Chain A
Amino acid sequence: MLTRRIIACLDVTAGRVVKGVQFVGLRDAGDPAELAERHVQGGADEIVFLDITATHEGRDTLLNAVQRTAERIFVPLTVGGGIRALEDAARVFDAGADKISLNSAAITQPKLIEEIGARFGAQAVVVAIDARRALPNQTERVASELAEVYINGGRKATGKRVLDWAREAEQRGGGEILLTSMDADGTRNGFDCELTAAVSQAVQIPVIASGGAGTVNHFVDVFTRGHADAALAASIFHYGMMDARALKEQLAARGLSMRLPC
């Protein structure tokens, strides 16, 4: 049976792993390659690096980290942040990434999804969507339908609805959707299950839920109510609150299919 994936995410800037709370207030958490290996040993099914500054100098540092990581871990590695052209993607793949994730550039140049997919395969293109609910006091269903896509690290509203953009990303050949709830991100108060479910039902490609993980119950919720195919978390793994293996054992005990032993 296909298992639900637990993905450890490392936000990287200037070659160091950091984790922000609602995209600001960054705290330093270590070397990307070292932490990635520790997460894999801890049972994570996949690793995601998000280059959250993506400056020119930061770029080479990141590629170096990707290279060092890919020599040590043998599970899927996704790299996102600052990929604006086919050549950027090619450099990341050459360094050893298996997938790239496109966020702002997918909105500003949607053809990039097709171009990278044609060269490296659709399965290698993850479309990352940063989503924010329009108004806090709407009913759950309306809030999901009206949720808006943000780009540039959550700083710029696009006017696009999340569900429409998810469908378009799929039509353009995206292999997976990485859906981050900006409202939930960093709060450890739980995933946005309604929005995740709405996106998961709108598309036929896998949906990775992100933002808000804090407890085992949050993962149970996002895999059941949220219909997520995978769940991504950062802080609960970094600060030693729990490793992926312990999380997966508890999720398996709650009836969810997990890769165990791992």
Chain B
Amino acid sequence: MIAVVDYRAGNLTSVCKALRALGCEPLVTADPDALRTAEKIILPGVGHFAATERLFQSGLAAAIQQRVAEGALFLGICVGLQWIFSGSTEAPTVPGLNVFPEQCERFPDSVKCPHVGWNSLDVIRPSRLLRGLAPATHVYFTHSYRAPTIHATVAVTNYAGEFSSVVEDKNWMAVQFHPEKSGAAGLKILQNFLELPAC
């Protein structure tokens, strides 16, 4: 079972429609108990980092952490990527899940912000999510904060310097762009995630 976590922030419709187009009927849930049988967990996110506070308050954060430790695969999208870092300067008092200890920061004033549009992926390490994609594939971004390049970074994107556009570390995977809005390339990335062997 594939669970899409609903933490009452942003818009889940697009992610669900893309999954359905790939033949997957996700369970959309705000219930931590419902995650206990999930083989894969998708955390979409558009909007403000502060909205992730609800993940801790509701018990969803603990449920996600436990289930991924048991072997479930996690895919974070956009704010869902930023959330598995230690936090973001967008909401300094709201902690992230701290899978990665680094912090997300706003783009510098030298560029337009938010970073909106199609930008390319520079794959720097073998990636499960990006398997079968052409080099320098374009995907759709819309965000004002970015994660630094770390040991788990498998692809970077350049906008006022490089940032992590895809991270993968064992069962934790996340993308800064919106695969559900990135045309055929984005659907391929979601399909790659769906096809990964579950625990």
Contact = CB atoms under 8 A, between A and B. Distances in A.
Given A40-B183, A74-B187, A123-B143, A176 B11 contact: no
B183 A175 contact: no
B79 to A, nearest CB: 8
Given A2-B119, A121-B10, 6 more contacts: A4-B117, A45-B118, A75-B183, A95-B13, A229-B117, A230-B117
Contact of A96 (B14, B115, B187): B14
Which bracket fits the contact residues of A? 20 to 34
B27 to A, nearest CB: 18
B17 A70 contact: yes
Contacts of B17: 70-71, 96
A98 B181 contact: yes
B112 A205 contact: yes
Nearest to A71: B17
Given A70-B17, A206-B114, A121 B47 contact: yes
Contacts of A4: 117
Interface in B152-171: 158-159
Interface of A: 1-5, 40, 45, 70-71, 74-76, 93-96, 98, 118, 120-124, 175-176, 204-206, 229-230, 259, 261-262
3 closest A-B pairs by CB:
A121-B47, A259-B118, A123-B142
B117 A204 contact: no
Interface of B: 9-11, 13-14, 17-18, 20-21, 46-48, 109, 112-120, 134, 138, 140, 142-144, 158-159, 180-184, 186-187
Contacts of A261: 134
A120 B47 contact: yes
Contacts of B21: 71, 74
B181 A123 contact: no
Contacts of B142: 76, 123, 175
A156 B158 CA distance: 43
B18 A5 contact: no
A5 B183 CA distance: 14
Nearest to A207: B112
Contact of A98 (B11, B144, B184): B11
A225 B124 CA distance: 35
B117 A2 contact: yes
Given A124-B46, A259-B118, A259-B138, A93 B183 contact: no
Contacts of B115: 2
A248 B130 CA distance: 25
Contacts of B144: 122-123
B117 to A, nearest CB: 5
Contacts of A118: 48
B14 to A, nearest CB: 6
A205 B109 CA distance: 11
B133 to A, nearest CB: 12
A148 to B, nearest CB: 25
A76 B9 CA distance: 18
Nearest to B107: A204
B45 to A, nearest CB: 9
A123 B46 contact: yes
Nearest to A90: B11
